[in-house]
Amino acid sequence: MKKESIGIALLGFGNVGSGTYRVLEENAALISKRVGADVCVRAILVRDLNKERSVHAPAELFTDDFEAILGNPDIHIVAELMGGVEPAVTYMERALASGRHVVSANKEALARFGGSLTERSQELGLMLRYEAAVCGAIPVMNAISTALGANEITRIQGILNGTTNYILTRMGEEGAPYAQVLKQAQDLGFAEADPTADVEGHDAANKLSLLIAAAFGDTISPDNIDCTGITGVTKDDLDAAAASGETIKLIATADKENGMLRASVRPVPLPSENPLARVRNEFNAVLISCNMADDIFLQGRGAGPLPTGSAVAGDLLEIAACIVRETAGRALPTRRLP
């Protein structure tokens, strides 16, 4: 049965949830035209119904009851934008079990439970998409799984965390104190609810494990990725690197040679001719080495409400268009998850 409007539930209305809402509202006309139906937010799950929100949405959309969302027959897609492992994973499982397609921006949950969620979605003929989980607005998961799908990928190297790149840029260029810049990254909506995951490199490791699964088909737990964050990087280190014409960046690298996968996240001094050295502030970038297409360099905003909302909305649109065309769940699975 063709649908005239596609109903969305947003689980979470923080940085990403509110950014996604704004993208869907402010670009509603073009989205409706592209999908062939209106794409409407019909419910928003939050923890605290009394919290003041900087983005306005009608009060009747808000609920703190996940069961009410599952019970609403006009919701077709659930977007999990809460963060953390639980109850996010259980909510995604339950959304799938109830016949809803799922979109998520939650790299922590996907890096650990994405494989079983993918299997479940495929068993049920439903779609699970997560472009926003890796590098915010940069369409890197789409690039790897579709446009570069005919290539063998040999290496991935990137700046996968916006918060740490913002901190290193501001500390290095302006001498701004670490704690002050971290606070600004939090205020701008780049950082995780607990920024330890950012500054210790775990967020980049989660994203790297998702990239590895998509690019190499290998499962690696983020816990098994050799990981060092930026908390040990001082202004003196940044200045010493600059004096040698280098810039220190938090670099995630994965390569596969003779069947051997190597993966790491660590601060690396890069010479100025390396394109990653010139990626500043919350921008992310990924250099993908392919056996046919050669090197591909993708760059864009890796964090923040609207860039991330753009990626979430892109996944919602794709699923909505499939629902309208009655092809949802029949598309070949082109992405792998650990």
With contact defined as beta carbons under 8 Å apart, do 140 and 212 qualify?
no
In the list ligand HSE, ligand NAP, none, the entry touching 189 (Cβ below 5 to 8 angstroms by class) is ligand NAP
> Binders of ligand HSE among 200-259, rule CB under 6 A?
203
In the list ligand HSE, ligand NAP, none, the entry touching 87 (Cβ below 5 to 8 angstroms by class) is ligand NAP
Residue whose token pair is 């001094």: 269
How far apart are CB 12 and ligand NAP at their closest, in Å?
3
Label the pairing between strands 5-11 and 38-45: parallel
Residue whose token pair is 């949405």: 57
Among 51, 235, 262, 325, binds ligand NAP (CB under 6 A): 51
Tokens of 222: 């983020």
With contact defined as beta carbons under 8 Å apart, do 293 and 148 qualify?
yes
* 305 part of the interface to ligand HSE, by CB under 6 A: no
CA-CA distance, 158 to 205, in Å (whole number)?
11
Distances (CA, A) of 91 to 10, 69, 179, 317: 12, 10, 34, 21
Residue 193's nearest CA partner among 52, 21, 14, 13 is 14
In the list ligand HSE, ligand NAP, none, the entry touching 198 (Cβ below 5 to 8 angstroms by class) is ligand HSE
Residue 56 CA to its chain's centroid (Å): 24
Q: Under DSSP, is residue 80 helix (H, G, I), strand (E, B) or coil?
A: strand
* 283 part of the interface to ligand HSE, by CB under 6 A: no
Residues 6+ apart with CB under 8 A from 318: 127, 129
> Binders of ligand HSE among 152-191, rule CB under 6 A?
161-163, 190-191
207 is catalytic: yes
Task: Number of residues interacting with ligand NAP: please give it, by CB under 6 A.
Answer: 28
With contact defined as beta carbons under 8 Å apart, do 76 and 3 qualify?
yes
CA-CA distance, 182 to 180, in Å (whole number)?
5
> Could you give the string, one character per residue 111-150, with x where binding to ligand NAP holds by CB under 6 A and - elsewhere?
---------------------xx--x--------------
Among 108, 198, 315, 318, binds ligand HSE (CB under 6 A): 198
Among 12, 17, 136, 309, binds ligand HSE (CB under 6 A): 136
* 315 part of the interface to ligand HSE, by CB under 6 A: no
With contact defined as beta carbons under 8 Å apart, do 80 and 55 qualify?
no
* 45 part of the interface to ligand NAP, by CB under 6 A: yes
In the list ligand HSE, ligand NAP, none, the entry touching 83 (Cβ below 5 to 8 angstroms by class) is ligand NAP
Among 83, 229, 302, 305, binds ligand HSE (CB under 6 A): 302
In the list ligand HSE, ligand NAP, none, the entry touching 13 (Cβ below 5 to 8 angstroms by class) is ligand NAP
Q: Under DSSP, is residue 113 helix (H, G, I), strand (E, B) or coil?
A: helix
Catalytic-labelled residue, pool 107, 207, 249, 256: 207
11 versus 323: smaller Cβ distance to ligand HSE: 11
Label the pairing between strands 62-63 and 38-45: parallel
Task: Number of residues interacting with ligand HSE: please give it, by CB under 6 A.
Answer: 11
N- to C-terminal Cα separation, the chain: 34
Site residues for ligand NAP per CB under 6 A = 12-17, 45-48, 51, 81-83, 87, 105-107, 132-133, 136, 189-190, 192-193, 303-304, 308
Active site residues: 207
